[in-house]
Amino acid sequence: MDAVPSAPVVGDYGSAGSITAASWSRARHIGWLDRARWVLAFVTVGIGVGLAESGWLLYRQMRGDRLEIDVHPEFLWLTPLAQGAWGLLAGLLVAGFSWVLPRLTAITAPFLLGFLGTLAIACWFAELEPWARLILSLGAGFQAARWLRGSSPSSISTGPQRPSRVGEVDDPCFEQGDGDRLGLVARAAPIMICLSLGVMVWSLARQEWRQRPQGASSFPPVATIPGPELHATTPAASANTATAPPLPTNRTAIRNVVWIVLDTVRADALSHLGYHRETTPKLDAWARRGVTFERAIAPCSWTFPSHASMFTGLTQESYDPDLKLVLPDRAYTIAERYSDADYRTAGFVGNSSCCTQWFGLHQGFQRFDTHLLDPIVALRQPASGRRLLNVLAQSWDWVARKLDLPAPQRIPPLYRRFHSANDLNAKALAWLRRHDDRPFFLFLNYYDVHAPFLPKTTTNPRFGRPIEHWYEYAIVRMFYDLDPSRTAPSVLQFVRDAYDQCLADLDSAIDELLSELERTGRLEETLVIITSDHGESFGEHGQFGHGRLLHQEESWVPLILIAPGSPALPAGKRISTPVSLLDLPATVLDLTNHANDGTCRPAFPGQSLRRFWSQTTAQREESLPSDTTEAVYSELLPLTPDFLQHPTHHNRPLRLLVAGRYTFFRNREGREWLFDLENDPGETVNLIDSDDPVHQEAAQRLRAALAERIGRQTRF
């Protein structure tokens, strides 16, 4: 009797693993359930890797490491959700490829799952070479494929598997028993999603709890370290306490503080400080309602140390002698002082590179908003996401260059983003509206004039012309990488035009904020401080950018104090004497009736700038310590202990003393420079070896003053 032929088994690949024509035809139809399991498996691995990365970042933060500038403050919940989104994208791509190459996709999906997961973890460690990451991830991918199939590699292509459902390919990745491990991974996706959402809810609730209104408290005890200029404070062990001064009760007195920092704005770029272009007409009008300091000196020529010094009154060598680039918790900030006095405190920051929580600048702020949160920023949160988006951005550069895209489409949308001045204004005004009538301390950092110089006004700009060609965008984006000695004057003028237009756009945003404060009646009882953290070099002294030197293009910044409703600040006053931003904490306390007059022990060094408009020169000198002059100090330290090995930074540490008509510099090698600003405003002729007895006497006096100033540097 002839044997009855059995019905063909769907998915029978033959004894040697060959795929018959019939099975290949059936392989074009993979069921929706299997595709869904692939997608969920990738989501599970993505969220799992994201949670692990959040834990790793949290450990580093608790250990005191300074995190990368692209790490968002809400990394605990943002990292797993963003990594899960990348996993979802990868899963959808795999499911999409299964329509075209079903068998190949079924074989490679487990490998890709392990490969991409390991590659995402390897991206955490910047010290790993790219080839090392690739080899490690390839090995993990092969091992993941073996484990997920639950058998030897031969099962990839040999032997019949479970009968498939009608219209599906027999996929060894989803076989019964141990081989269904991929299905187990997929079924864990809801748990992972709920876990990441739980972390998000907990983190946001904790943030709201921290921002809740605080009750009045007393100032912490402080121990004053004596010194003619520097009264640094450290926690005291004494049981004596100093209570906060009472809040002003007179409604015409200064109750509130708005501190505005125009990041990267040099003083001579403002029209009311002598610039030949009318870059800041609206700010000029506001300046006429207050006090303008024509020669304000920043504590440093880059963002972090300048902000930290403004907030504490201390130089970087005092609070960061080990060059950890972080403001320690024991440093007492002006925001902490006002928070302790029952003020509402908030900071809204555009510079998400060097003015963030990772640098310790959030101390004392009940709310400190530094990172723009949009889909691109969220996808950049994982280390692997940053690397992938950087590759995509470079690809966008190449495509835009080849296609010569129109100007609005020429800016890659994948680069790191920041809050614009208008965004910060909206956030700040919304914050003011949602809270009670208690006095407030508000800090704003505007980043609009920092490179890349991309003006908000894209048509009919006031200065220069719009960006019309790809290479022009590349110039303003890569300005710091240009060689000043090889840059054509026309290129330099194009960059300066873009810078000036950015400043003109920022001028409108400042006017928008102050006008709204005046319209709501808040400005009458508010002290407004407008300054900058540093300037910008446009080829002067052979440099582009900032943080390179301490010449006036990098260290001289605007400083305007406005209080329209208070007689404490005269209108239209201009001060030509050099002043330091290190005096700002003492000045703000003085003008808001929190004076360092003995009722509360001084928590901040320096002297109130009120002395420049309320005292004569003789009275001002008499009020200062006997061995102190009005010389202004600034310093530029290495970024890290090994930073000096870089050949272009041999000058650091670089120190500056400004006194009257002279600027005096000294670098780490003992080389000195002396410039006479009256006869050489560009600081081009070094007079340190001059035979003129006047210059010789100035050099000796400033050399001694600088040595004495450095000797009195107080460290924690």
Helices assigned H by DSSP within 478-551: 489-519
Element (H, E) at 40: helix 32-63
* Least confident span in 218-222, 556-560, 627-631: 218-222
User: Which whole number is the average pLDDT over 301-321?
Assistant: 94
pLDDT at 156 over 50: no
Highest mean pLDDT among 53-67, 132-146, 497-511, 627-641: 497-511
Q: Per-residue pLDDT for 162 more than 80?
A: no
The structure tokens listed for 192 are 């992972």
164-178, 388-402, 447-461: least confidently modelled range: 164-178
Start-to-end Cα distance in the chain: 100
Instruction: Let me know: does 475 contact 467? Beta carbons within 8 Å.
Output: no
Identify the helix (H) or strand (E) that includes residue 89. helix 75-97
- Answer whether residue 577 shows pLDDT above 60: yes
Which pLDDT band, with edges at 50, 70 and 90, does 99 fall under?
Answer: confident
C-alpha separations of 693 from 60, 697, 699 in Å: 57, 6, 10
pLDDT tens sequence across 8-32: 433 333 333 334 444 444 444 567 7
d(CA 146, CA 153) in angstroms, rounded, equals 6
The segment with the largest mean pLDDT, out of 165-174, 370-379, 573-582, is 573-582
Which pLDDT belongs to residue 151? Answer: 43
Q: How far apart are CA 404 and CA 691, in angstroms?
A: 59
Q: Cβ(654)–Cβ(669) under 8 Å?
A: no
**Contact by Cβ (8 Å): 563, 527:** yes
40 φ, ψ (degrees, to nearest 5): -65, -35
Nearest CA among 174, 263, 282 for reference residue 532: 263
Task: For residue range 655-708, list pLDDT tens digits in order.
Answer: 999 998 999 999 988 899 999 999 999 999 999 999 999 999 999 999 999 998
Domains, the chain, in order of start with CATH, read: 21-208 (no CATH), 222-246+256-372+418-711 (3.40.720.10)
- pLDDT value at position 234? 34
What pLDDT, in 10s, does the model give residues 409-449? 555 555 556 789 999 999 999 999 987 788 999 999 999 99
Put simply, whether the predicted model's pTM sits higher than 0.85 gets the answer: no
Which is nearest to 433 in space by CA: 522, 354, 372, 366?
Answer: 522
Q: In 10 A of CB 397, how many CB atoms?
A: 18
pLDDT at residue 238 in the model:
30
Distance from C-alpha of 61 to C-alpha of 56, rounded to nearest angstrom: 9
Q: Which amino acid is at 593?
A: N
Mean pLDDT of 499-514: 97
State the Cα–Cα distance between residues 75 and 73, nearest whole angstrom: 5
Integer Cα distance of 451 and 443 in angstroms: 22
DSSP-derived 3-state class of residue 324: coil
CB 349 within 8 A of CB 355: yes
